Structure 1
């Protein structure tokens, strides 16, 4: 059972998602293994469920403080295609400021879908941008839109009418080795009520961690925040409800 948290979701939506997941887990007798996924940091296992890639759209619920785009009227959306092994398509601001030379982009204009390839984009992004453009055409436009494939420096007049003149685009920003090393920093914590009160104890801060550090009678938290991830592990023999009705889930 997988929970997916979007970066612009409200606190109420996140709490409701967690509550529904807990109810479903209880209904199924506690058998499902729960996984929490955060937008932009989804696990490979989650991404494998979407072989044609994942596309993020703005969405949201209309209110007095927020306006959502209706299904009627002209369509003007810009998607950024980024990644290597797990490619993601994310809706970004309709501006040249969203572009860079190292990624691919899709400009969705309704009847026309422009597939734009940056000069420094990798081979996986080049392949995926065409697949996602075809997916938008076949599913959202019922096969009636025209796809235009262009490379950086070949911008069409229709594209320029929407975005304006092409400015100096940002260079690609590949991840430095030092940043990759920093993303592997993690700490392991144990959550236990063995002393009669809830207690959080740091078990280790040196990875990789030995599997025998995990005890079936307790909960553990693996903090890999430098990489945007926090994992919660619940032992099979744990008492379901802690004192003060606090659940480890």
Structure 2
């Protein structure tokens, strides 16, 4: 990673995103964020429609946006608070959970409309509301009874700041603030970790040593692995660069960028 950063003359903001723990900034790039399994090889091909393997898509409102992710084709994957689409290639079925959000219904329906248009064929489309169905129905009959892995969840934690320095001759990470984050905690001669629910921000001071710069990314990963939120977003930036997400983290009431 250090070599990659060097290619950009230390002028690039580097982001790391992990599935289920994506930052709000990353998700904002997509009108409707979605994840499929098995890549393009599993995509629908109208010439091989009968060979298409069914997919169960889980539509969920996260904050103010709806995202969808492929789920196991099992009854146990269903959640009455969300919307699901069973995609069988030539047939599409939307299942609306009893407690689902209206926005989830709308996004799922629009997605079905897009599939019907893209597949350019006679696609059978059905819509079901959970409360109108018997426990055993045409939709659930197409799903297995297999157990499904639990969806990873984000855990709350307090903000904190740490300083990464080699002043002693060895790379050491020392706490600066706990529960709060202030710009005063930044030392321009070192690397600063600002840990917040929106991500771990790694700020490289303008006069940080080559050793501190080279170890910043690996030390940040090591730090996260030791917490109860090891998969959160990781953002590396340098002096003079602005991160709007980081601007919302500070507790000192200032709205300017980092100019140390």
What TM-score results when the alignment is normalised by the length of structure 2? 0.65
Q: CA deviation at 1:86?
A: 2.8
Seen in structure 2, the aligned counterparts of structure 1 residues 75 and 198 have a Cα distance that, compared at 3 Å, is: same
Superposed CA deviations along residues 38-74 of structure 1, whole A, max 9, x for unmatched, are 22222222111101x111122279xxxxxx8586513
Segments of 5+ residues of structure 2 without an aligned counterpart are: 146-152, 218-260
Q: In structure 1, what is the equivalent of residue 109 of structure 2?
A: 130
Counterpart selection for 2:78 from 99, 110, 118: 99
Q: CA RMSD in A?
A: 3.3
Question: In 2, Cα distance between the equivalents of 1:50 and 1:143?
Answer: 27
Residue aligning to 2:55: 77
- For residue 159 of structure 1, the aligned residue among 139, 143, 168 is 139
Q: Secondary structure at the match of 2:200?
A: strand
1:186 matched to 2:154:
no
Could you tell me which residue of structure 2 aligns to residue 121 of structure 1?
Answer: 100
Q: Is contact 1:104–1:125 with CA below 8 Å preserved after alignment?
A: yes
Identify which of 188, 194, 199 aligns with 1:222.
Answer: 194
Match of 1:97, SS state, is helix
Runs in 1 of length 4+ with deviation above 4 angstroms? Answer: 68-72, 154-158
Deviations 1:76-135, CA, capped at 9 Å, x for gaps: 010111124132211111011000110111111101111211110122222222233334
Confirm or deny: 8 A CA contact 2:191 2:205 kept in the other structure: no
1:44 pairs with one of 20, 24, 46: 24
1:242 to 2:211 alignment:
yes
CA distance in 1, matches of 2:39, 2:103: 30
Give distance in 1, aligned partners of 2:3 and 2:110: 37
Displacement of 1:136: 3.6
SS at match of 2:30: coil
> Does 1 or 2 have the higher relative contact order (CA < 8 Å, sep 6+)?
2
Give 1:231's aligned residue: 200
1:192, CA displacement in angstroms? 1.1
Aligned residues: 202
